[in-house]
Amino acid sequence: EIRKEVSGMDPDLYVTLRCGAYACGNHDTVFDPMAALYNAKYAAEQIEEPEEEAIRFYDSAIDEERRKESFVRDHFEEALRKGEFCVYYQPIISSLSGKAEGFEALSRWIDPEKGIIPPGEYIPFLERTHKIFQLDLFMLKQVCEDLKQLRIEAGFINVNLSQDDFGVIDVPSEVEKILQEHCIDPEQIQFEVTESAIGKQSAVFREINLMHEKGYKVWVDDFGTGQSSLSILKDYSVHGIKLDQEFLKETGPSDRSHLIITQIVDLCHSMGLIVIAEGVETSEQYWFVRRAGIDLIQGFYFSRPIPLSELLKSSFAENISTAQDRDFYQPVSRIDLCGPMEPELFGPDQIQPVFAKGVVERDHERMHFLRMNTEMEQLCSPFITETRNIRELREKSELLLEMRRNIHRIQDHQGICSFRVMIGGNSFHCAIAPLTRSQDQKKETYVITLTNLTDLEWPDPEKM
Ligand code: C2E
Ligand code: CA
Ligand code: CA
């Protein structure tokens, strides 16, 4: 009504209206009209979409929110001085080697009375009040300190930057100053900037490209949540993307998110970018991520963010992925697992052959699958022993024996070697090609395909 009334006075005038209301007497012991007004104003300020929400009441949820906000406003700077903030580290794992490549630094506020306060309770307020740069620079300094104890020459630490930092400080020169003071090599620190931040300001654009020129690696965080995902890949010099956790939430191989992920990964790889999947919690998600060719994984499946003391004792910090590991595994994640014949090319009564494809790693006489398409999964499940991250071909299974025999043949002449194999009563054509070999010559990877030569009866796992 009010909006209409005002627009009627002057058609060029557009009014945004936010109404807040406070019901007196609910929880007040003494009536204070000024406090009541402030509360109503605060409720009004919480309306984000005034077109859709006409009025907001000051309720207990808002009251709680406000109390938390006041706590941050009143205590943040003092807490930072007193050392109540610390860095937690979450491993970023190579999806194929299973070793850590680096760690993401995540802040935690440890209040002596309240305990751990999660970032969601202070970051948004610090961003709104332009104080987040204090925390981000503190985190960077602390990470530089921690690196002296961690001693992970081959690994990196990812530090988060807020979009607000770029408006308030000169990010590239502040970063450079801190790294020089601590004698830290730029290779060891990488930065994460959210997609929404990158899309918004020209300062971010300039400074990110400048950081790239200076040799820093920048990741696009929460990729896929903003409106500018693809144009970022076009315009910015970034090292890679971190797919937003939401994409992995839906499970099931035919899901749209999975199709999108697979396409994004292919696009990124063809542009030379690396992909991290965040929020991997289950074994299904883990195997999907491998199948899609995603390079690095972060998630509770491997580890929650942990304090430095715990990290120092963990196997993650001891066994960092090396350049040789990367050379060995990277070609594996670039293999296209899809079949050579598209299903629509088959005639109506033609039987569509199964096209199973995967990549196996051979370590002496043992073999396990690093990646496999769903057909390979279905076909080989009776011959595989699955432990946490390993799908190993069972000793004495016909496929393993045949593969071993034929691999010896390939070693004489490089290239593809093919043979027939019986699996579950069906005859298959199997092809194996060598892909990579470790520097110490002890491990190799092979691409393997299986296609049926006769009509297929799927093996019944119950009977095997
Ligand atoms: P982010 O940068 O997207 O960080 C990833 C968040 O996902 C972390 O939450 C992490 O604990 C959580 N996470 C990791 N693996 C899993 C998983 O498998 N499942 C689920 N459900 N969650 C997982 P956290 O530590 O609460 O941080 C929340 C956000 O706060 C971060 O999101 C980041 O945007 C911000 N943040 C944290 N520390 C800093 C900081 O020092 N500076 C800035 N600017 N932002 C920070
Ligand atoms: Ca992040
Ligand atoms: Ca993220």
205 or 215: which carries more pLDDT confidence? 215
| pLDDT, average across residues 167-184 | 95
What residue's CA is closest to ligand 1, atom 22?
Answer: 279
**How close is the Cα of 191 to the center of ligand 2, in Å?**
8
Provide the pLDDT for residue 27. Answer: 62
**Considering only CA atoms, which of 150, 151, 226 is closest in space to residue 195?**
226
Is pLDDT of 23 > 90?
Answer: no
Under 8 Å between Cβ of 140 and 116: no
Binding site membership of 199 for ligand 1 (Cβ less than 6 Å)? no
d(CA 304, CA 88): 9
Provide the pLDDT for residue 343. Answer: 59
- Band the pLDDT of 462: cuts 50, 70, 90: low
Residues of the chain with pLDDT > 70, as a percent, come to 91
**Considering only CA atoms, which of 313, 286, 284, 326 is closest in space to residue 89?**
313
**How close is the Cα of 158 to the center of ligand 2, in Å?**
8
What residue's CA is closest to ligand 1, atom 15?
Answer: 299
What residue's CA is closest to ligand 1, atom 41?
Answer: 107
| pLDDT, average across residues 155-162 | 96
What residue's CA is closest to ligand 1, atom 37?
Answer: 106
Provide the pLDDT for residue 28. Answer: 61
- State which H helix or E strand residue 78 sits in: helix 60-82
What residue's CA is closest to ligand 1, atom 28?
Answer: 119
| pLDDT, average across residues 332-348 | 69
Provide the pLDDT for residue 260. Answer: 86
If one counts every other C-beta atom within 10 angstroms of the C-beta of residue 295, the result is 24
Binding site membership of 135 for ligand 1 (Cβ less than 6 Å)? yes
Is pLDDT of 138 > 80?
Answer: yes
Ligand number, closest to the Cα atom of 197: 1
| pLDDT, average across residues 316-323 | 92
- Band the pLDDT of 464: cuts 50, 70, 90: very low
Provide the pLDDT for residue 176. Answer: 96
**How close is the Cα of 221 to the center of ligand 2, in Å?**
6
If one counts every other C-beta atom within 10 angstroms of the C-beta of residue 203, the result is 15
Binding site membership of 162 for ligand 1 (Cβ less than 6 Å)? yes
d(CA 68, CA 32): 22
67 or 254: which carries more pLDDT confidence? 67
Choose from 171-175, 323-327, 413-417 the range with maximum mean pLDDT. 171-175
Under 8 Å between Cβ of 431 and 417: yes
What residue's CA is closest to ligand 1, atom 44?
Answer: 162
If one counts every other C-beta atom within 10 angstroms of the C-beta of residue 77, the result is 11
**Considering only CA atoms, which of 311, 305, 309, 241 is closest in space to residue 272?**
241
| pLDDT, average across residues 101-129 | 95
Provide the pLDDT for residue 445. Answer: 94
| pLDDT, average across residues 74-87 | 96
Average pLDDT of the chain, as a whole number? 87
Binding site membership of 136 for ligand 1 (Cβ less than 6 Å)? yes
Binding site membership of 303 for ligand 1 (Cβ less than 6 Å)? no
Is pLDDT of 299 > 70?
Answer: yes
Is pLDDT of 251 > 60?
Answer: no
Q: At a CB cut-off of 8 Å and minimum separation 6, what does 357 contact?
A: 335, 337, 338, 339, 372, 373, 375, 376, 447, 448, 449, 450
- Band the pLDDT of 104: cuts 50, 70, 90: very high
- Band the pLDDT of 232: cuts 50, 70, 90: confident
| pLDDT, average across residues 331-343 | 72
Is pLDDT of 201 > 70?
Answer: no
The lowest-confidence range among 202-211, 216-225, 349-358 is 349-358
312 or 399: which carries more pLDDT confidence? 312
